[in-house]
């Protein structure tokens, strides 16, 4: 839905566009958002794109689009020299970095300045003072802003960090100094976990930010995550635009944000806002930024976390309650304008909530990909998105598809509007977290405002997603076909859909399977039948051919000619299926042919599969090694985050099919492990 993108009181300020053309050094939803702001101000928008984004929405909407390199971000969106060259080639006078990628890189801001380009954001000196988490903690201490106990020293040896961790006490957090979005962050419960967690955090931080410096922080129990939007111009004027509560998170990344916070009093709101402005002033900050805090509701105390020296993903929440277009304001400040208001002019009006609709499994939170065969968002609220029906969702970048923002007179009315909006969403072709968002919006704890950072685990949200019952035969036969033939990631359907089955045909011609459906077990027997599959479900016989097969979706042609399409996530042990708008959970009770093993061996062989497409970052064992249950075997990197594949039981490593650096598809066997 188009939303009002005019800057509040813009006619009174007399602002005019000082830039004729601006380059947007980003992609997806935020690139689209900035394009619209540029157009509202009469500025031509130039974008860059990787090979994977050649047909992306931000490319289609821009006035000019320039190729920047291959799909991996390190070879495209993170190449400072290529982006500067593109801006100069296009004749742009300024660059807006959006969020993520290079937005908080002082080197990028400095490169813009050196090239005679205006960086729409803070000066590099302010980024260095606040964008570095360790430097920001030191500045907070110097300005009297409280911080959580921890270690932020320059000494980074393993011995120093272990000694400081013991002093701080467990549980604690390891954080990347250059980090954000949960990348490079690890929760450590005890000293035994600490060395491996440090190594993993460093590796992830180095891959995501090019800097593996870390610091330690005491972990607070059940805090709220409160952040304050700050804005400053180059003329010494500073204001805050109040707070946002962002406590509901998964993998340390926010999925629900709202303003005002239901927990703060007016006095607390004033206090935390003043602290954020004091910190920004001490750093010589200019443009938009966000100071983040943890709030302990039990004693009413705040602990400073970090400053995000950029626009936040959740900025629409603040725009809704203040009426200020933050992106246009950013551009105006970068052009030399003064703030058009004072602190006393700003008010929070009503209540706003934003949820992030992501291409990810709502149970495991692992990102998914594929083509959006349907992408319908509600038309009566603000929806910020970077995709449309028919677009391909790539796994190279962030999983965010859209942000849904509701605004109403009070919180209860906003929640009611949010629930209606979520029910109106329809997404097909790609698995999303939509069921989880609906469950959160309906949960009694959320409705009363009891939202802390452990909300999802405390209320076991992923265990209580709506699952339809009884499970239809179609879901069982789809699960059976997916379990006996590997699904080729990214493989397109051929002209003859029946010929697709050939390369995947298994040697087993008659396989019995059992699935647990609630408290009961369902028996499925699957047999090859020429170019199709013959599936018997509780005595009922079906014949189906594979029309299209991907790790996250499956299309079958039934014997009567109808085509059935399924979305799927998980693996053969626990598989989530979507069919005809319903969602089903199937657990495999037994797999007789695997239990017997090859040639009658008493030990079973397990193929540990990649839960998502990614790159092999580390291999922690060798072929022939004996391993214990839960021992880490392989580290898979995807979306700049690490996923550890661990042994499900004691056993012997028979084979490691891939080397470090290999790109693997979802479902690829990473380790062959023999039990015993």
DSSP string computed for 82-124: HHHHHHHHHT-SEEE--SSTTTT-HHHHHHHHHTT-EESS--H
How far apart are alpha carbons 376 and 63 in whole angstroms? 26
Contact 365, 359 (CB under 8 A): no
Q: Which pLDDT tens digit goes with each residue over 83-116?
A: 999 999 999 999 999 999 999 999 999 999 999 9
How far apart are alpha carbons 211 and 233 in whole angstroms? 30
Backbone angles phi, psi at 86, to 5 degrees: -65, -40
User: Active-site residue 310, yes or no?
Assistant: yes
Q: In the predicted model, is pLDDT for residue 5 greater than 60?
A: no
Q: In the predicted model, is pLDDT for residue 117 greater than 60?
A: yes
How far apart are alpha carbons 570 and 636 in whole angstroms? 16
User: What's the mean pLDDT in 21-38?
Assistant: 98
Report the pLDDT value the prediction gives residue 607, as an integer from 0 to 100. Answer: 59
Poorest-confidence range of 108-122, 443-457, 577-591? 577-591
Q: Which of 33, 224, 250, 310 is an active site residue?
A: 310
Q: In the predicted model, is pLDDT for residue 501 greater than 50?
A: no
Q: In the predicted model, is pLDDT for residue 404 greater than 80?
A: yes
Q: What is the dihedral of CA 348, 351, 357, 362, to 10 degrees?
A: 120
Taking the mean position of all CA atoms in its chain, how far away is CA 285?
28
Higher local confidence (pLDDT), 51 or 152: 51
How far apart are alpha carbons 594 and 581 in whole angstroms? 33
Q: Which pLDDT tens digit goes with each residue over 48-88?
A: 999 999 999 999 999 999 999 999 998 999 999 999 999 99
User: What's the mean pLDDT in 563-590?
Assistant: 76
What pTM value is reported for the model?
0.73
Q: In the predicted model, is pLDDT for residue 14 greater than 60?
A: no
Contact 332, 15 (CB under 8 A): yes
Q: What's the chain's average pLDDT?
A: 86
Q: Which pLDDT tens digit goes with each residue over 187-209?
A: 899 999 999 999 989 988 887 77
Backbone angles phi, psi at 167, to 5 degrees: -65, -45
Burial class (CB in 10 A: 0-12, 13-18, 19+), 199: middle
User: Which structure tokens are listed for 422?
Assistant: 């979520």
Instruction: Catalogue all structural domains in the chain, each as residue range(s) with its CATH number.
Output: 10-120 (3.40.50.20), 145-462 (3.30.470.20), 473-593 (3.30.700), 597-675 (2.40.50.100)
Report the pLDDT value the prediction gives residue 490, as an integer from 0 to 100. Answer: 33
Q: Which pLDDT tens digit goes with each residue over 233-243?
A: 999 999 999 99
Do the bridges between strand 186-188 and strand 641-646 make them parallel or antiparallel, or are there none, so unpaired? unpaired
Residue 518's pLDDT band (cuts 50, 70, 90): low
Report the pLDDT value the prediction gives residue 441, as an integer from 0 to 100. Answer: 97
Report the pLDDT value the prediction gives residue 572, as an integer from 0 to 100. Answer: 61
User: Which structure tokens are listed for 312?
Assistant: 């936040």
């Amino acid at each position: 839905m188009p939303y009002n993108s005019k800057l509040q009181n813009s006619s009174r300020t007399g602002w005019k566009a000082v830039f004729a053309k601006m380059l947007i050094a980003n992609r997806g939803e935020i690139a689209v958002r900035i394009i619209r702001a540029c157009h509202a101000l009469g500025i031509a928008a130039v974008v860059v794109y990787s090979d994977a984004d050649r047909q992306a929405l931000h490319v289609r909407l821009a006035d000019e689009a320039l190729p920047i390199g291959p799909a991996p971000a390190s070879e495209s969106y993170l190449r400072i020299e290529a982006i500067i060259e593109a801006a100069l080639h296009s004749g742009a006078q300024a660059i807006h970095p959006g969020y993520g990628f290079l937005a908080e890189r002082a080197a990028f801001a400095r490169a813009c300045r050196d090239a005679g380009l205006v960086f729409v954001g803070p000066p590099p000196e302010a980024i260095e003072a606040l964008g570095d988490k360790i430097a920001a903690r030191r500045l907070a201490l110097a300005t009297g802003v409280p911080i959580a106990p921890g270690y932020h020293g320059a000494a980074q040896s393993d011995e120093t960090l272990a000694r400081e961790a013991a002093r701080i006490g467990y549980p604690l957090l390891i954080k990347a100094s250059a980090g954000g979005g949960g990348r490079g962050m690890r929760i450590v419960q005890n000293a035994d976990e600490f060395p491996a967690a440090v190594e993993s955090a460093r590796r992830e931080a180095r891959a995501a930010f090019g800097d593996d410096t870390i610091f330690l922080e005491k972990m607070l129990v059940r805090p709220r995550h409160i952040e304050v939007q700050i804005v400053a111009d180059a003329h010494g004027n500073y204001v805050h635009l109040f707070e946002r509560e962002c406590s509901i998170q998964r993998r340390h990344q926010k999925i629900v944000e709202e303003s005002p916070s239901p927990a703060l009093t007016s006095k607390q709101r004033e206090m935390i806002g003043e602290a954020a402005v004091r910190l920004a002033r001490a750093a010589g900050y200019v443009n938009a930024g966000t100071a983040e805090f943890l709030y302990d509701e039990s004693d009413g105390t705040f602990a400073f976390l970090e400053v995000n020296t950029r626009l936040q993903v959740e900025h629409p929440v603040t725009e809704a309650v203040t009426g200020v277009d933050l992106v246009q304001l950013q551009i105006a400040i970068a052009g030399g304008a003064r703030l058009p208001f004072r602190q006393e002019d700003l008010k929070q009006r009503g209540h706003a909530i934003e949820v992030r609709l992501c291409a990810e499994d709502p149970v495991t939170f692992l990102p998914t990909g594929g083509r959006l065969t349907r992408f319908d968002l509600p038309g009566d609220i603000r929806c910020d998105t970077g995709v449309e029906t028919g677009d391909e969702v790539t796994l190279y970048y962030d999983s965010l598809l859209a942000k849904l923002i509701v605004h109403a007179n009070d919180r209860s009315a906003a929640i009611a509007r949010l629930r209606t909006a979520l029910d109106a969403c329809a997404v097909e072709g790609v698995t999303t977290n939509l069921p989880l968002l609906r469950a959160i919006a309906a949960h009694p704890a959320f409705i009363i405002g009891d939202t802390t950072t452990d909300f999802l685990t405390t209320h076991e949200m992923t265990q209580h997603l709506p699952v339809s019952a009884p499970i239809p035969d179609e879901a069982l036969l789809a699960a059976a076909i997916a379990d006996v033939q590997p699904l080729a990631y990214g493989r397109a359907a051929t002209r003859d859909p029946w010929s697709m089955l050939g390369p995947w045909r298994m040697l087993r011609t008659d396989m019995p399977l059992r699935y647990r459906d609630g408290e009961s077990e369902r028996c499925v027997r699957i047999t090859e039948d020429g170019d199709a599959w013959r599936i018997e479900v509780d005595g009922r016989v079906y014949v189906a051919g594979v029309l299209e097969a991907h790790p996250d979706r499956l299309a079958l042609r039934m014997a009567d000619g109808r085509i059935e399409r399924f979305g799927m996530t998980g693996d053969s042990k626990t598989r989530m299926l979507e069919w005809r708008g319903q969602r089903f959970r199937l657990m495999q009770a037994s797999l007789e042919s695997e239990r017997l093993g090859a040639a009658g061996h008493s030990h079973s062989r397990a193929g540990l599969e990649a839960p998502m497409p990614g790159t092999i970052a580390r291999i922690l064992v060798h072929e022939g090694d004996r391993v214990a249950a839960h021992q880490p075997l392989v580290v898979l990197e995807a979306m700049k985050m690490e996923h550890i594949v661990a042994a499900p039981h004691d056993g012997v490593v028979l084979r490691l099919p891939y080397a470090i650096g290999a790109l693997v598809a979802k479902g690829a066997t990473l380790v062959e492990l023999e039990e015993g």
